[in-house]
Amino acid sequence: MAPSAPPTTSSATAYDELIVLVKQASLLESTSYLLGWDQETMMPPRGVEHRSRQQAQLASIHHRLATDPRVGDLLAACESDQQFMADPAAVAAVNVREVRRRYDRYTKLPTELVEELAQVSTLAHHQWAEARKASDFDRFRPWLEKIVELNRRKAECFGWGKDGEPWDALAEDYEPGCTAADVEAVFRPLRTRLQDLITAVTTSSTRPPNAFNEIPLPIDRQEAFVRDVSRCIGFDYSRGRLDRSTHPFCSGTHCHDVRLTTRFQEAFVNDALGSTMHEAGHGIYEQGLLEEHIGTPMGSAVSLGIHESQSRMWENQVGRSRGFWRWCFPKLGEYFGDSVTSVGFDDVYGAVNIIKPDFIRVEADELTYNMHIMVRFEIERAMISGDLAVPDMPAVWNLKYKDYLGLDVPDDRRGCLQDIHWSSGSIGYFPTYTLGNLYAAQFFETALDAMPDLYEQFERGEFANLKQWLNEKIHAHGERYGASELCRHVTGKPLTADPLLRHLEQKLKPLYDL
């Protein structure tokens, strides 16, 4: 009797099994996000050692699931069916393509390295928080050295293009397909044009009054106010939360469970408002992913740059616009009563758009913000390539702040220790902020073309049309398109700096009498 032929797996069956495995791995990953959220908001300080072991264990199990050879077999079965893969924008083809990209990447990393990275970054993060409090870089230095070394090993496992460099391999986690050379090509001309505008603004004799930014307002009222605004712009609190953390963030574990954090300063309500609108913008993206696809690439965000475009648009294009403030200004009276009667509409609108080169990235205005990013990109690129030794980093940081923003950095807390990213093991992340600003401006111009009365809608407190437009044009697609492809798909053009510069000039020229 002839041996029976091996059972063939039809591509549809293979695909169904593949999705089950992918969703299992994703469930585990979302659990680790939740532990990360807890670490920043609720965990007692001495929980950190145990948390690092929990995170390492989860990372290890996730890695095992995501690199299961069965996933590779199922991918191959799907890919071999040309008909199944015929339409590259169809749900199944998108999921197979993106699971393949992740699988090839994960299988290049040894489990020990994954565990070590997870454990070291949890501990390093804790040490960073302590070092930052004490403004003492030396305390964080050995941890940063370890993080840089582990990231170099990671980059070597992944490899990079012929004309590329190790940074490219790391950036792939945040902005797939984006290289250091790509970033430099966008940043270099942007820097010159921003620099000219910064000089014009900072040397102008006209400046909006700052008084609104200095009025002390009770934190509990601020919290009620930012909750109200974030709800009105479309963040759904039946599917999300807002808590406090040192460094505001958004952590999406599911479209029905999105965690935002913000922070408050008594005499700077616009910091809390901007941070909350920013994180709510991320949250609206996460809540806009389609439930049926959650746990698969079709139910995931495209890239961090696109994610950031959503937060920046609500924070800047909406939240710093005249139309938005026509609606929001009366709310100040509702929430803060007599404390705000001394400021008029123009004082508030001017104050939220004040340009002032300063040390802290997360407090930076719309214009100087991108300079903060350029400094970080150049430094992390040099640390990873080995051109910059970690002990020399603070000095280089301070030199660049002098060069880019004309500032003398007074201490490490307001200098190289201010950001969470490197301490969490994230290198290659920073440029996504500026890419996000560029994408936000280009998407918003397109939205304005489609809905020319958007600002009048904001004046009436109507934000649903913009949210709906973003839901349809961006959120519902998951990872159907890559970032640059999505940009062409939505705006009809490749990404350029022009919309951002137009947005900034149109707003700042009248305010600063340029």
Residue 383 Cβ vs Zn ion, minimum distance, rounded to whole Å: 23
- Least spacing, CB of residue 250 vs Zn ion, in Å: 7
Radius of gyration of the chain (CA): 23
Give CA 32 to chain center in angstroms.
18
Min CB(319)–Zn ion separation in Å: 13
Q: How many degrees, rounded to 5, is the angle at CA 259 between CA 298 and CA 61?
A: 60
On whether the CB atoms of residues 188 and 180 are closer than 8 A, the answer is no
* Min dist. Cβ of residue 304 to Zn ion (A): 8
Nearer to Zn ion, 119 or 261 (CB): 261
- Taking the least distance from each CB to Zn ion, the nearer of 280 and 352 is 280
Residue nearest to Zn ion (CB): 311
**Measured over all CA atoms, what is the biggest interatomic distance in the chain, rounded to whole angstroms?**
96
366 CB-contact burial (10 Å; exposed 0-12 / middle 13-18 / buried 19+)? buried
Alpha carbon 100 to chain centroid distance? Answer: 24
Judged by beta carbon, residue 100 or residue 361, the one nearer Zn ion is: 361
Q: What is the DSSP string of 394-435?
A: HHHHHHHHHHHH------STTTTTS-STGGGT--S-THHHHH
**Closest to Zn ion by CB, 95 or 311:** 311
Give, in degrees to the nearest 5, the angle at Cα 416 between 415 and 418.
75
Residue 51 vs 259, nearer CB to Zn ion:
259
Contact 95, 295 (CB under 8 A): no
In angstroms, what is the minimal distance from the CB of 278 to Zn ion? 6
Q: Interface residues with Zn ion (CB under 5 A)?
A: 311
Q: Which is nearer to Zn ion, 230 or 311 (CB)?
A: 311
Which residues are part of the catalytic machinery? 279
- Shortest distance in whole angstroms from residue 368 CB to Zn ion: 17
Helix (H) or strand (E) holding 118: helix 111-134
Pairwise CA distance, residues 154 & 157, whole Å = 5
Residues 6+ apart with CB under 8 A from 188: none
Q: Could you give the CA distance from residue 124 to residue 140 in angstroms, rounded to a whole number?
A: 7
- How far apart are the C-alpha atoms of 135 and 341, rounded to whole Å? 38
Q: Would you put residue 295 in left (φ > 0), alpha (ψ -120 to 50) or beta?
A: left
> How near is the Cβ of 75 to Zn ion at its closest, in Å?
32
261 vs 311 by CB, closer to Zn ion: 311
